[in-house]
Structure 1
């Protein structure tokens, strides 16, 4: 499995669900950043009051400092992942093909059919996939504004190791 294919597959998720990712990331990012500050860990407020008042600590090494640091780092990493998802989602909504060009250039070709917002195709291994290509972030590349009627065959390009990352080739239609 190609590592770059895996990265594109991961980036394709927020790009394919751009509308939902903008709302999910937009509402969660502030809470994640708030949880990543020093005072958000349990016992942190009591510890800071004891330090400010000059009271002795419960032990020579305050408990919870390591756990609190790990919690802050995890929430900070999640916040940056959500921030990246927000940016990818916004770019996908305005028409920037973030992972689509890579999938188009490096994907395996298959013939599929459109059924509303759903694309059904069979991989070279014989596995059939039915995946969403919704109105807001359609998986069409290079011309994103092409209309494909329901039930008509379409040319699909997908990553061999990750068929969920796909594009509908707007330049070709099966004959």
Structure 2
């Protein structure tokens, strides 16, 4: 398995789902960074109130609570960075920047497929049939990114051999 193919495959997901990822990531980024920035001071303030009211402390018998807070902050910080990167990739894909399509076109294996509405169906060289989404806001066409492929048309698909989910519709070749 090629490491660069795997990286392109991972980046290709937010690129091919650009419109949806833009909205999902835009709302998620704020929440992730808020949870990453939130400190243990909230529970410290609650412990002060419990102490003042004469109630038992909730943190008694929990010596690893501070470690769990740090792990939570790290996890949500990393998740926030991933979602921010997905947001940027989704916006760039929605405005038409071909981020991964050039690599897939240059290194992909050609095969014949069919477009059926918002779906593309093709069979890989391994004999596995794939039916994948071809989003209307970020269609997977290359090198002519403005070309339109209608429903029911036979097309040439180029896909990465190790990751067939990363594909482009080749606009320079016809299936005949």
- Does 2:12 correspond to 1:15? no
- Does 2:98 correspond to 1:97? yes
In structure 1, how many angstroms separate the alpha carbons of the residues matched to 2:29 and 2:130? Answer: 32
In structure 1, how many angstroms separate the alpha carbons of the residues matched to 2:129 and 2:171? Answer: 21
Corresponding residue of 1:35: 35
Query: Root-mean-square deviation (CA), in Å?
Result: 2.1
Corresponding residue of 2:53: none
In structure 1, how many angstroms separate the alpha carbons of the residues matched to 2:33 and 2:74? Answer: 10
TM-score (normalizing by structure 1): 0.88
Q: Which runs of 5+ in 2 are unaligned?
A: 49-56
In structure 1, how many angstroms separate the alpha carbons of the residues matched to 2:98 and 2:138? Answer: 10
Q: Within 5 Å, give how 1:118-129 maps onto structure 2.
A: 118-129=119-130
The Cα of 1:46 is off from its aligned counterpart by 3.6
Corresponding residue of 1:54: none
Q: Within 5 Å, give how 1:61-72 maps onto structure 2.
A: 63-72=64-73
Aligned partner of 1:47 among 41, 44, 47? 44
1:19-73 CA-partner distances (Å, limit 9, x unpaired): 000000001110100000142x5xx32436879xxxxx978x9641111111000
In structure 2, how many angstroms separate the alpha carbons of the residues matched to 1:20 and 1:159? Answer: 23
Count of aligned positions: 167
In structure 2, how many angstroms separate the alpha carbons of the residues matched to 1:46 and 1:85? Answer: 32
Runs (4+) of structure 1 exceeding 4 A deviation are 48-51
1:89-114 CA-partner distances (Å, limit 9, x unpaired): 00000010111111111111111011
Corresponding residue of 1:108: 109
In structure 1, how many angstroms separate the alpha carbons of the residues matched to 2:144 and 2:97? Answer: 11
In structure 2, how many angstroms separate the alpha carbons of the residues matched to 1:120 and 1:142? Answer: 20
In structure 2, how many angstroms separate the alpha carbons of the residues matched to 1:117 and 1:47? Answer: 52
Corresponding residue of 1:5: 5
